[in-house]
Structure 1
Amino acid sequence: MILNKGLKEFMAEISSMGRLQHKNLVQMRGWCRKGNELMLVYDYMPNGSLNRWIFDKPKKLIDWEGRRRILADVAEGLNYLHHGWDQVVVHRDIKSSNVLLDSDMRGRLGDFGLAKLYMHGEVPNTTRVVGTFGYLAPEVATLASPTAASDVYSFGIVVLEVACGRRPLQTAVEREEEEVLIDWVRQKYIEGRLLEAADERIKGQYEMEEMEAVLKLGLACCHPDPLRRPTMREVVAILIGDNVSVAPKDLLSGLTPAT
């Protein structure tokens, strides 16, 4: 059977991504095809996805130190995709359910089914919106132009999920309407009450300066202007330190909340 051009290109990209090697990526072992169905084969992650440990396992919550470590793990994996390989890999579907936890509860970024490869310096060109609502950067939702910066936005949403213990979209009980996490946290920041956004279930496990810095980092990653978001290199530099509160002041002070 002669495969159509789109399928050929997809399979070529998947084959290329099979060469990605990093301790914070779920290793893709191969793929198989049956009819029109393509299935990707990854290493098994025994502790499942991060979102389950934040939202679905109230008796087995990950503590703050574990959460911060997982965020740093994912940041390093994403930094490799953006800056550490011979091509830029734009993941396009970063979300907490695509962060898998290994036997040591270390975070690994998985599910490359929507990823696209670009040469460094190349301007992505696509007309198809893909990803998950609540994690999509504004420019992707309107212009269908995924870039490394739009991945950074999605990572910022994950940062806020982990720090706040809230889903990207959830119903506000008192108003019976859907509340958007990024808008809720940004409003707390504008009002000078940012620490009120922290997950109450882990209160007392963190230094206030550290939590505030992580929340600001999440907001910076979700800046409406993609040119003002940090790169994943900058994010890694913040999260892998012994104390995240010593984050580069120029990055955090550059955060301009939306009004």
Structure 2
Amino acid sequence: MIYRNTYRNLHRGPGSYYWPLLRLKSVRILTRIIIISNLFALSKGQTGEDPNNSPIHVLSTIEKYSPTLADNVSFNPAWVKDLKLVLPCKDIPVPKRGARLPNAPRDYRSGTHRGIDFFANWGTPIRAVADGKVVRADRGFEEVPAQFREELLHVSAEIGHTPSDIFNSVLLGRAVFIDHGLDLIKGFRAITIYAHLSSINDSIKPGTMLKRGELMGFSGNTGTKDSALGTKEGAHLHWEMILQKNDQEIFLGKEMGYEKLYNLLTEIFLNEQTPINKKGG
């Protein structure tokens, strides 16, 4: 199943980080037992039906093919053993709290946080972690009404995952996507995402080339509940790296335990100085 490897080594790391995952696992196991029991009861009463349409056959088909899904591919730390990135927010290190790191439980995006939340004050300069080309810059982002946002989250909870249109167009807020090409991490196309920005420099457009450490905009809270309510509370940068290959999209640190993940991230990020030649906005 998609979530099978999510729960390895849950006894390790801060309790506030892993107990929600344990509760989630318990609910999933109980739900699965109930579903299988109901399907078995239904299958006993079938007569003269196509066996390929039986509930038991359908369930076995899901089990057979789900491991091929991109979400079931784990991250390998060896892929980034030589990777060095500049911190996106100067002097703001990788957070120690597990709830702000990849793999932390969330009530959206299929229950898993894919990035790092750097808690920076509103208006903190945000910079590119490595050389790359802008593929998306949402300067025209408009915040949705708070009630509408809650309705979208409710829909996501009902179907068990956050659809891409809701996540990309609403929850990320004002965001910049950078394509780092195929050379940053050998064998993969690397994409980094900078979300919840308060503003993006006017010069940042799709196709713009950015140098490592170059400024692109400023931190905020767009896309969050606080922003939908009209406040500046909870300002932070949501940053993530996605590795793409074939039909796979794997986020940095996927399914790693807290201690190994934190150590890896602190080795990857460097607190380099921001270049003097800024691109104004």
Quickly name the TM-score band, shorter chain normalised. Answer: under 0.3
Flag the structure with higher strand content. Answer: 2
TM-score normalised by structure 2 residue count: 0.25
Flag the structure with higher helix content. Answer: 1
Question: Which structure exhibits the higher relative contact order, with contacts defined as CA atoms closer than 8 Å and separated by 6 or more residues?
Answer: 2
